[in-house]
């Protein structure tokens, strides 16, 4: 029996186990993927949930070193969707029986922004007869803002930690009051305390990042007891400060397989959470999202952003699907999911079983 097989038989992985599994070679990683596929089938089944993605605005007050829409990038054409454009996208998702959308934007925390999101949430629920669940991904906000949005009808919130190592976090963000690791942690805990389905995630294959850092990321998400995750390979953007360190990067193919291993390991560790097959996976491998579904992911996000805005929401280079209308994107992803041997859960909200049990106080069992 190989070392990989011995580790995969364990009930719990420690940091050393995770590092060894992240370092598996081409043959050994197949054992990992086989195990994660079995766990996925046993705990979340063969269904894949659609989350229609609405890229609401690319205006951001943050200057994260890796992000293409960072405030300091003067080459970006900034935009905000109108209320009508957001509602049209929400209605499309509702009519197509997606049952769920994600509203994502650059990070702002003004009173007008807070009020506008609150109003939009109410309008979306009214327009869809409260049949559409809404995930927000709008960055760090105050507790009162999170509370207002929750009361207005937001069910889920995605706030990616990006890296759980505080020292690495400092290398990826400016050293100023706007970029604070502890405040991000506090925001995650606040969201959880307010009853949101909590999502976070990390970038994989960053400069200065080690397999040990990624192992710590997995343990961080497990300790935080998240309900959903979105993570994928780091892909450089030439208009960012981090681009200067591109010579330190693993080849893109290696970053892709490292990302698949992270998805597989998180599925084994947190058996009944929701895990997204992120768009960045497809940026490297044409079948990237299908492969992620195969090894553990169960959520996919068709892009519903009006086409004229897509090329201005480039967090990283080579982002796919920026030239596809919503209907085309839906059809493409439907085909991809069937190619992966899965089925689409039409009309189902897809709340994670983990969240429902956590809310009911039901202890987790293997």
Q: Domain for residue 340, yes or no? A: yes
Higher pLDDT, 358 or 84: 84
Q: What confidence category does residue 280 fall into, taking pLDDT thresholds of 50, 70 and 90?
A: very high
Output the pLDDT for position 252: 97
- The whole-chain average pLDDT of the chain stands at 95
Gap between the Cα atoms of 212 and 196, Å rounded: 30
Structural domain harbouring 238: 3-360
Output the pLDDT for position 10: 96
User: Domains in the chain: how many in total?
Assistant: 1
The pair of three-digit structure tokens given for residue 321, joined into one six-digit string: 């699907």
Give yes or no for a contact between 132 and 177, defined as CB atoms under 8 angstroms apart: no
Give the residue from 341, 309, 339 showing the smallest Cα distance to 326. Answer: 309
Strands (E), 13-118: 47-50, 52-57, 100-105
**Average pLDDT estimate for 12-37:** 97
Q: Domain for residue 145, yes or no? A: yes
Q: What percent of the chain has pLDDT over 70?
A: 99
Is residue 335 scored above 90 in pLDDT? no
**Average pLDDT estimate for 77-86:** 98
Residue 247 is classified by DSSP as G
Is residue 244 scored above 70 in pLDDT? yes
pLDDT tens digits, one per residue of 108-141: 999 999 999 999 999 999 999 999 999 999 999 9
Is residue 40 scored above 90 in pLDDT? yes
Q: What confidence category does residue 339 fall into, taking pLDDT thresholds of 50, 70 and 90?
A: confident
**Average pLDDT estimate for 97-107:** 97
What sign does the CA torsion over 30, 36, 41, 47 have?
Answer: negative
Q: What share of the chain is helix, strand, coil (3-state, %, to 5)?
A: 45, 10, 40
Gap between the Cα atoms of 264 and 291, Å rounded: 11
Give yes or no for a contact between 301 and 282, defined as CB atoms under 8 angstroms apart: no
Q: Domain for residue 366, yes or no? A: no
Q: Domain for residue 292, yes or no? A: yes
**Average pLDDT estimate for 184-213:** 98
Q: Domain for residue 295, yes or no? A: yes
Give yes or no for a contact between 56 and 81, defined as CB atoms under 8 angstroms apart: yes
Give yes or no for a contact between 64 and 70, defined as CB atoms under 8 angstroms apart: yes
Output the pLDDT for position 1: 84
Give the residue from 170, 169, 141, 137 showing the smallest Cα distance to 54. Answer: 137
Q: Domain for residue 365, yes or no? A: no
**Average pLDDT estimate for 27-38:** 97
Gap between the Cα atoms of 205 and 285, Å rounded: 15
Q: What confidence category does residue 365 fall into, taking pLDDT thresholds of 50, 70 and 90?
A: low
Q: Helical H runs in the chain?
A: 3-8, 15-22, 26-43, 83-95, 111-127, 143-151, 166-172, 181-193, 211-224, 252-269, 279-284, 288-295, 307-310, 326-339, 353-360
Q: Domain for residue 303, yes or no? A: yes
pLDDT tens digits, one per residue of 59-69: 999 999 999 99
What sign does the CA torsion over 59, 60, 65, 67 have?
Answer: negative
Q: What percent of the chain has pLDDT over 90?
A: 89
Output the pLDDT for position 318: 79
Q: What confidence category does residue 364 fall into, taking pLDDT thresholds of 50, 70 and 90?
A: low
**Prediction pTM value:** 0.96
The CATH number of the domain holding residue 149 is 3.20.20.70
Is residue 325 scored above 80 in pLDDT? no
* CA distances for 362 relative to 112, 355, 357, angstroms: 40, 10, 5
Gap between the Cα atoms of 89 and 120, Å rounded: 12
Convert 121-136 to b/e letters by CB count within 10 Å (16 or more is b).
Answer: bebbbebbeeebbbbb
Give the residue from 199, 189, 161 showing the smallest Cα distance to 299. Answer: 199
Q: Helical H runs in 225-278?
A: 252-269
């Amino acid at each position: 029996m190989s070392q990989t097989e011995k580790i995969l038989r364990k009930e719990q992985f420690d940091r050393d186990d995770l590092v060894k599994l992240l370092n598996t070679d081409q043959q050994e990683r197949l054992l990992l993927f086989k195990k994660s596929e079995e766990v996925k089938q046993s705990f979340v089944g063969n269904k894949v949930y659609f989350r229609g993605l609405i890229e609401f605005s690319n205006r951001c007050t943050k200057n994260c070193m890796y992000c293409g829409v960072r405030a300091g990038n003067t080459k970006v054409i900034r935009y905000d969707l109108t209320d009508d454009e957001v509602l049209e996208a929400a209605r499309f998702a509702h009519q197509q029986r997606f049952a769920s959308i994600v509203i994502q934007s650059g990070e702002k925390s003004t009173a007008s922004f807070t009020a506008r999101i609150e109003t939009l949430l109410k309008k979306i629920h009214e327009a869809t007869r409260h049949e559409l669940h809404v995930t927000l991904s709008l960055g760090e906000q105050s507790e009162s803002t999170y509370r207002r949005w929750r009361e207005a009808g937001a069910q889920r919130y995605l706030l990616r930690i990006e890296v759980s190592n505080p020292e690495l976090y400092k290398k990826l963000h400016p050293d100023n009051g706007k970029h604070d690791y502890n405040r991000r942690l506090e925001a995650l805990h606040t969201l959880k305390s307010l009853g949101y389905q909590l999502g976070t995630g990390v970038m994989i294959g960053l400069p200065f990042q080690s397999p040990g850092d990624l192992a710590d990321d997995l343990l961080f998400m497990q300790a935080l007891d998240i309900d959903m995750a979105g993570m994928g390979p780091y892909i450089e953007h030439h208009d960012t400060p981090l681009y200067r360190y591109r010579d330190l990067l693993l080849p893109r193919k290696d970053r892709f397989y490292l990302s698949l291993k992270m998805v597989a390991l998180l599925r084994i560790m947190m058996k009944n959470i929701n895990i997204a097959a992120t768009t960045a996976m497809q940026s490297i491998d044409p079948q990237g999202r299908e492969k992620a579904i195969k090894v553990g992911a169960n959520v996919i996000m068709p892009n519903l952003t009006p086409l004229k805005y897509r090329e201005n929401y480039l967090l990283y280079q080579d982002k796919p699907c920026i030239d596809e209308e919503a209907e085309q994107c839906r059809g493409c992803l439907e085909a991809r999911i069937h190619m992966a041997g899965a089925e689409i859960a039409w009309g189902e909200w897809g709340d994670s079983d983990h969240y429902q049990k956590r809310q009911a106080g039901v202890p987790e069992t293997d």
